[in-house]
Amino acid sequence: MLFELVTPSVQHAFEVVGIFVFAISGALLAVRKNFDVFGMAVLAEATALGGGVFRDLVIGAVPPAAFVDLSYFFTPLVATVLVFFLHPQVERITAAVGVFDAAGLGLFCVEGTVKAHQHGLGLTASVTLGMATAVGGGVLRDVLAHEVPSLLRWDRDLYAVPAIVGSSIAALLLHFDALSGATSALAAVVAFTVRLLAMKYGWRAPRAWNRRSTATEEI
């Protein structure tokens, strides 16, 4: 159990909320791309579950959790229906969606790191899979929508970095045998906070030193 301070049902509720918010972002992108309802559902599912499915396949936890617990699978479909009918209203609360998305990122990067370590991976590999759990769905979403993944674009606020920070803290806690409900929650909160600060202040990763290109954005 990752967060020992909460019951399994509460942890499951947190995970479902995180999946729901990730799915919202996928469905909204589909609307902007003028996809039909099936395309909306595909992007919602990919965004919400892609990172976790990738992690589970790598560590050999098959079938992936998304196909064992159907609440994980059906939650993105609920998000799709909501966006299908109410996408103008949902677009207007993107700031709130961004906050919940940051919370989901914090939760999933820590949970992914711990689960990978529990399946025998070293700390470095566990950090990598923790980050992949948090951001993998977004990468898959952008690829399916024929866009450069957001985490690779310099003109987007830091996204992968907060996940790496949270995963690294979780790995250090595992290394020093200090992981508990409180400390794992702290790692998730740090990742959440870094992401919120990046959103508020527009933090971005640096580009190549002394680069010659004058391009402002890769289209």
Contacts of 183 (CB under 8 A, 6+ apart): 173
The pLDDT value recorded for residue 205 is 86
Reported as a single tens digit per residue, the pLDDT across 173-215 is 999 999 988 899 899 999 999 999 999 999 998 888 877 765 5
For residue 152, the 8-state DSSP code is: G
Cis previous bond, 63, omega within 30: yes
Q: Answer for the pair 133, 55: CB distance below 8 angstroms, yes or no.
A: yes
Reported as a single tens digit per residue, the pLDDT across 105-143 is 999 999 999 999 999 999 999 999 999 999 999 999 999
Shortest CA distance to 132 belongs to which of 96, 108, 148?
A: 108
For helices 181-201 and 94-118, what crossing angle results, to 10°?
A: 140
For residue 6, is pLDDT > 60? no
**Domain locations in the chain as residue ranges:** 8-201
Q: 155 vs 20, which has greater pLDDT?
A: 20
pTM of the model: 0.87
For residue 39, is pLDDT > 50? yes
